[in-house]
Amino acid sequence: MNFDRTLIVFSYFVLALAADSGARAGPRGESLDIYWVDVEGGAATLIVTPGGESVLLDTGNPGSRDPDRIVRVLTRQAGLRKIDHLIVTHYHSDHYGGASTLATMLPIGTLYDNGITDDMPEPAPEESYLNLACEDRRTIVPGDRVPLKSPNRGDTLDVSLVCLGARRKYVTPDGDNGPINEFCALHQPKDRDGTDNARSVVMLLKFGDFEFFDGGDLTWNEEYRLVCPQNRVGSVDVYQVTHHGLDSSNNPVALRSLRPTVAIMNNGATKGCLPEVFANLTQTESVEAIYQVHKNLRPDGAVNNVPDEYIANHEDETQCRGNFIHLSVDPSGDSYTVAIPAHGHKRKFKSK
């Protein structure tokens, strides 16, 4: 680690200790918190459990910008100094690219990914990722549960984080003769995506009645397979918009099957939030609110945006401050609040 990097990390730790407690996640042993870190159209979703553990799903792009933003949120907002669990959904640089730099800034516990297999459709990730420092490394498989610690309090709900899919394989539906998903008949196939997107790791987080879905960059036809002929996911509260809002993903069959109340899109100013996806989200009856990490500023005229108060960043990449979106689940699991601290926006929702 060079001197400049050490100084940056040390500064974050000092700021974390001095930060106003009102800006952090709820006291450990109480709330469950999720942060969508702005990585300019990549993905980096930070989960902080009531037990004080951190789970990071994806690490943004290569370079220092995205790891710096992740560390800033982890230390200043969550008051933590370690990534206990790192999950990389697939091997595209906007998802795994920041990992090797991040490993020089903070200790990483267990890294979960798709491993290296003979049937990979694209080249393996770079050596810097394959050799990054971590305590353990595991190839994740459908059905795996991330071993999260329970707080030492009898009145605190357990947190469950389970893998529903990886490498185009999915968990077995509950009951061989379960009901057929009524929305499957609406499926209109698209051209097959032969990239690593289709092999994305799919995760489901549960805390009491609250459920959160993160499908990485899972593609249109694979989303159909996930919920058809039987729905392997069920109904969720919060849906992380798949693939940054690109229309090779976000199949309306999946959206209607998952029935999310809130959709959160980690898009960029000129990446994602395409018209078809925006329309599918707004036409999904269960959706009460859509949040965007970035305002859509594409010059092609295909611009779709929710009201400004639901958007974390309104500027282009050159002027972007990297504002994050924060979700906090009440200790009861009965409700959750979505906030954009930079703008003072807060809205409360009831868990299903």
Percent of the chain predicted with pLDDT > 90:
83
Predicted confidence (pLDDT) at residue 274 exceeds the cutoff of 90: yes
Question: What are the structure tokens assigned to 344, written together?
Answer: 């003072």
Give the 3-state secondary structure percentages of the chain, helix then strand then coil, rounded to 5.
25, 25, 50
pLDDT digits (tens, 9 = 90+) for 153-182: 666 788 999 999 999 999 998 765 568 999
Write down the pLDDT at residue 179.
Answer: 84
According to the CATH classification, is domain 3-20+33-350 in 3.60.15.10? yes
Write down the pLDDT at residue 1.
Answer: 43
Q: How confident is the model at residue 16 (pLDDT cuts 50, 70, 90)?
A: very low
Write down the pLDDT at residue 11.
Answer: 46
pLDDT digits (tens, 9 = 90+) for 82-128: 999 999 999 999 999 999 999 999 999 999 999 999 999 999 999 99
pLDDT digits (tens, 9 = 90+) for 197-208: 999 999 999 999
**Residue 112 β-bridge partners:** 87, 138
pLDDT digits (tens, 9 = 90+) for 218-232: 999 999 999 999 999
Question: What are the structure tokens assigned to 281, written together?
Answer: 């989200």
Q: What's the rounded mean pLDDT across residues 290-298? A: 96
Q: What's the rounded mean pLDDT across residues 44-68? A: 97
Predicted confidence (pLDDT) at residue 6 exceeds the cutoff of 50: no
What is the domain partition of the chain in residue ranges?
Answer: 3-20+33-350
- Name the pTM for this structure: 0.91
For residues 67 and 96, the answer to whether their CB atoms sit within 8 Å is no
Q: Which of 27-41, 56-70, 202-216 has the lowest mean pLDDT?
A: 27-41
Q: d(Cα 317, Cα 312) in Å, to the nearest integer?
A: 13
* Residue 5 DSSP code: H
Chain Cα centroid distance, residue 4: 29
